[in-house]
Amino acid sequence: MPIQPCQQQPGPQPRIGITAIGTLLPEDVLSSDDLQREVTRRSGIALPDRMLTLATGIVSRRVAADGVYASTLAVGAARRALDAAGLDPLDVDLLVFASASRDLVEPATAHIVQAELGSRAHALDVTNACNSFVNGIDLARSMLLAGRARRALVVTGETPSRAVRKDPADFAEFRGTFAGYTFGDAGAAVVLEPVERGGILDVDGETYSEHWEVGGIPGGGSRHPRGDSFTYFRGDGHELRGVFEKAGTAVVDRTLHRAGTGWEGFAKVLVHQVTVPYLERFAELTGVPEDKLVVTVPELGNVASASIGVQLDRVFDELAPGERVLFVGLGGGISIMTMVWEKS
């Protein structure tokens, strides 16, 4: 069943907006060609020349160095967002760590982030694969509207590069973990607070949970609590792409209908980016003009839930008040989300 979209009610309504953003990219850069050479060296599998680059369109990605964790990237992004907003960590009373990655199974990584920041907010984790960050923003907005908090900091720190199998036993295992070779690392953070105009205007989504087995990292939970082999990402990228195509564009179509506009009504469209062919197929199916997209995947790879945050950071300052941005999230499980945000 689809998520019930936000409905505008008669009369003035409280508005919650994104008032600041920050991101952090690891310093280390790993090219797809170098990654492929490492896989070949460690596995002995002969792969076609430049296979990873040509198949994915990903030239490079950032990778977290030893001692850099999901929380490290989240904290760095959070500090930049707070600085941009002119806020102290103690000005935040809700902290949501919303990420597919985490430092530990327990406790919530939000507490690690909070300890580093020095804030004293209500802190919790939200996880929903690559839609985690959008889900976290939606949850924080709902809590602010309900009066549970005055100002929220939503952060993500993604380190999926550590789930990449670089020593597959054979070509079958290489193919079964191929989606992992798209991964890169990044952190992002946004400040949410009441605004007089604009803000988050609409949220919608659909889930197709019967496809939860198509891709993921099975280790660390009650099904596979131990075993190094379960800590790598498993999933056939072609199968995952097929599931998303089968789901179709209904969520996006509904959002455009409620907004009463076509693509021309949005300054930018931020789409979760897995590979260049995925993004090109999304544009083909939806008809979104190329100049509306903020393309990051060739240089950064698939940075999981940080993808939309990184894109937003790149255009945030150039957006004028009143301009609208459409977020389109795609996450394993699977789920599809949209969010309409208008700059205040």
Catalytic residues: 130, 272, 302
Q: What is the CA radius of gyration of the chain?
A: 19
DSSP per-residue string spanning 241-301? HHHHHHHTTHHHHHHHHHHT--GGG-SEEEE--S-HHHHHHHHHHH---GGGB---HHHH-
Residue 292's alpha-carbon distances to 29, 96, 250, 322, in angstroms, are 27, 29, 20, 16
In three-state secondary structure terms, 100 is coil
In three-state secondary structure terms, 232 is coil
Q: How far apart are CA 327 and CA 244, in angstroms?
A: 16
- Ranges of H-type helices in the chain: 32-43, 51-56, 70-85, 109-117, 132-145, 171-176, 237-247, 250-259, 276-286, 297-300, 306-315
Q: Which of 211, 218, 207 is nearest to 330 (CA)?
A: 207
Residue 131's alpha-carbon distances to 66, 96, 150, 306, in angstroms, are 26, 14, 24, 9
